[in-house]
Amino acid sequence: MKHKAAKLVTGALLLSLLVTGCGKKPAGVAATVGGQDIPMEAYQTEYWMQRNYIVQQYGDKYLEENVVQGQDKTVDTALKEMVLKNLEQLEMIRQEAKDAGIEIKDEDVNKVLDNMKKQYGGEEAFQKALKAEGMTEDYLKKNIRNSLLMEKYSAHLQDTIKVSDDEVKKYYDKHKDELAQVDASHILVKSEDLAKKIKKELDNGAKFEDLAKKYSTDTSNKDNGGALGYFGKGQMVKEFDEKVFSMKKGEISDPVKTEFGYHIIKVNDIKDSLESMKDSLAQKVKSEKVQENMKKIEGKKKVKEYVDFKDDVELPKGMKKVTKDDKAKDQGQNQTTKKEDKKEDQ
């Protein structure tokens, strides 16, 4: 049930954390990272913001389900753990960013916020949208600041890490078999007889793009001549994947049956040489180095947790416990208001 855990994730952070030890619980503190306290109120606020969002989307009962079938851990427990880990990771990044002289100014946050308000069509519509999501503007501003900080710190790491040609070649040699990419097009039809008829037309000189537009049932790409673009191994269904990666550049296949119907595949290009993927491989090597760098940082930051994930999380003052119906009510009120506004205009 991987999707259940995935729904809890609201933003990718830069590192995975190994928490060391639990200590005597100090008042009002959820955890400490490198000697810096994470306030219990911050943990409570983040938990309830995330919990309210999940309840609005999936209902209260979803929180009681197990994250993985057969394991005694509910979605609610996983949420508590994830909220605290994310706060710990964020504090770790904040400390490293400070040491690197990285800061986020108020005007940077306000610029992003102003752009968001414009996208919603103004202040009033923006505030209604926040209310519908059970979110406050202060909470949103904190999230904007945190996102900008992580982006800036990530860019800082990327700039400080260099990758040599030799490192790229070693990576290529190690992962050669799984790195190949093909640029392919296809024509998808339901009938095998029709697929054979189309293949015969192609053998007689018909243009692949023209027949894709005429026959293909794949509406996502038929108007582009069936173009699928570049993709790697394992991204398509098994039968399609095995066939396309056995073909040569310019080759057109016989009909290939999958769960979607019958495909006629054309390979437009193949990227499998070191030179053709040098830039993308350099980025992958750099990303691995970033992760190694973060693990080193993780090793020097002592983390202590003071939260028992079996306990209920106190609702902070000023926040409310929402239900799945609350969002529908807010949207209904918005619709009523719009109707009343129209009547006044008339």
Per-residue confidence (pLDDT) for residue 295, from 0 to 100: 82
DSSP character for 83? H
Q: How far apart are CA 213 and CA 200, in angstroms?
A: 17
**pLDDT at residue 14 above 50?**
no
**pLDDT at residue 100 above 70?**
yes
Domain presence at residue 99:
yes
User: In the structure, what pLDDT confidence band is assigned to residue 334 with cuts at 50, 70 and 90?
Assistant: very low
Domain presence at residue 167:
no
**pLDDT tens digit sequence for 102-142:** 999 999 999 999 999 999 999 999 999 888 777 889 999 99
**pLDDT at residue 90 above 60?**
yes
Higher-scoring residue by pLDDT: 1, 210:
210
346: exposed, middle or buried (C-beta count within 10 Å: 0-12, 13-18, 19+)?
exposed
Mean pLDDT of 251-273: 96
Higher-scoring residue by pLDDT: 335, 221:
221
Per-residue confidence (pLDDT) for residue 15, from 0 to 100: 38
Residues 98 and 246 in one domain: no
- Report the interhelical angle of 106-119 vs 123-132 (nearest 10°): 90
Q: How far apart are CA 163 and CA 74, in angstroms?
A: 42
Residues 69 and 191 in one domain: no
User: In the structure, what pLDDT confidence band is assigned to residue 321 with cuts at 50, 70 and 90?
Assistant: confident
Q: How far apart are CA 285 and CA 167, in angstroms?
A: 8
**pLDDT tens digit sequence for 264-289:** 999 999 998 898 889 989 999 998 99
Residues 74 and 156 in one domain: yes
The CATH number of the domain holding residue 252 is 3.10.50.40
Residues 7 and 115 in one domain: yes
Mean pLDDT of 9-30: 55
Per-residue confidence (pLDDT) for residue 276, from 0 to 100: 85
What's the mean pLDDT when you consider all of the chain? 86
Domain presence at residue 227:
yes
- Rounded to a whole number of angstroms, the CA Rg of the chain reads 27
Q: What is the extent of the structural domain holding 222?
A: 181-271
User: In the structure, what pLDDT confidence band is assigned to residue 327 with cuts at 50, 70 and 90?
Assistant: low
Residues 62 and 193 in one domain: no
Residues 327 and 257 in one domain: no
Residues 136 and 210 in one domain: no
**pLDDT tens digit sequence for 184-240:** 999 999 999 999 999 999 999 999 999 999 999 999 999 999 999 999 999 999 999
Mean pLDDT of 141-146: 95
Residues 81 and 42 in one domain: yes
Model confidence, pTM: 0.62
Per-residue confidence (pLDDT) for residue 285, from 0 to 100: 94
Number of domains in the chain: 2
Residues 110 and 11 in one domain: yes
Residues 256 and 329 in one domain: no
82: exposed, middle or buried (C-beta count within 10 Å: 0-12, 13-18, 19+)?
middle
